[in-house]
Amino acid sequence: MIHAAVAEHKPNQITIGGRRFSKSVGGDPVGVVDGSLNMVIVNAAKLARTYYKDMYDSENPSAPTCWSSDTQKPSPDVPLEQKQAARCMDCVQNIRGSGEGGGRACRFSQRLAIILEEQMDTVYQIRIPATSIFGRPENGNMGVQAYAKYLQKHKTPSIAVVTQMYFDNSVDMPKLFFKAVRALDEQELEVALKQKSSLAASTAALQTMVTQDKTTVDKSPFAEVDGFEYNKGED
């Protein structure tokens, strides 16, 4: 069952406004972490597009005006009156100059479901902006895609390592880099694998702006991001 309204029950979230990791559980703030954050990636949504008529506020996340879960066309759950075009490639919001700074108003993003190194019993959702997704490594600093390729090269599943997220302090906007810190021990890996198969992880990585019940979520497979590898069958 899909409800035609923005979810009243918010997934636990980590936002990156002000170059700080702000944690919330059930919509209530629970803490702020400066500098870096150690976590484990347990699930990931496909690369997506989001368009906000008004400026996106990472401190107070809200549903975008229009969005696409496949970067090709608006998602089925976008209200008809909010759809900007039938196809992303034809959309005026996908033209350079339509957004701030000469960029596109409709931007790429990606949602990750993560657990924290010191708090593996709670799944959080984090929205990774385009600035933290693309690009080649810079002096060992890697965005999501470069980091995923690095793990793939070393035949290391993302769920098997503690990953550190940290900010690029050379730019004003929140931009994240990722690096592997250490391998999980056997007990930690067991917890991470259980969290990976949980409803909370599925919901956190789900690229949709409406609520879904357990039946729907369980029937919605989550595509892996290129480079991220998960140990299927080891739930």
Q: Is the pLDDT of residue 128 over 70?
A: yes
Q: Is the pLDDT of residue 189 over 50?
A: yes
Across the chain, mean pLDDT equals 82
- Of 160, 153, 144, 132, the residue nearest 225 (C-alpha): 144
Count the neighbouring beta carbons within 10 Å of the beta carbon of residue 127: 20
> Which strand (E) or helix (H) includes residue 120?
strand 119-129
CA pair distance 81, 85, nearest whole angstrom: 10
| Backbone region of residue 100 per phi and psi (left: phi > 0; alpha: psi in -120 to 50; beta: other values) | beta
CA pair distance 206, 75, nearest whole angstrom: 12
Domain boundaries, the chain: 13-214
pLDDT (0 to 100) of residue 27: 86
Percent of the chain at pLDDT > 70 equals: 80
What is the band of 225 on the pLDDT scale with cuts at 50, 70, 90?
very low
What is the band of 8 on the pLDDT scale with cuts at 50, 70, 90?
very low
pLDDT (0 to 100) of residue 58: 59
The model's pTM: 0.78
Residue 63 in tokens: 């549903």
pLDDT (0 to 100) of residue 46: 86
CA pair distance 215, 6, nearest whole angstrom: 18
**Interval 52-104: pLDDT, tens:** 998 766 566 678 899 998 899 999 999 999 999 999 999 999 999 998 878 89
pLDDT (0 to 100) of residue 193: 95
**Interval 136-153: pLDDT, tens:** 998 999 999 999 999 999
Q: Are 14 and 115 in contact (CB under 8 A)?
A: no
Residue 103 in tokens: 């960029």
CA pair distance 189, 176, nearest whole angstrom: 25
pLDDT (0 to 100) of residue 215: 30
- Of 31, 19, 71, the residue nearest 50 (C-alpha): 71
Q: Is the pLDDT of residue 5 over 70?
A: no
Q: Tell me which of 76 and 11 has the higher pLDDT.
A: 76
Q: Are 14 and 37 in contact (CB under 8 A)?
A: yes
Residue 174 in tokens: 């929140």
Q: Are 127 and 111 in contact (CB under 8 A)?
A: yes
Q: What is the mean pLDDT of residues 167-177?
A: 92
Q: Is 17 helix (H, G, I), strand (E, B) or coil?
A: helix
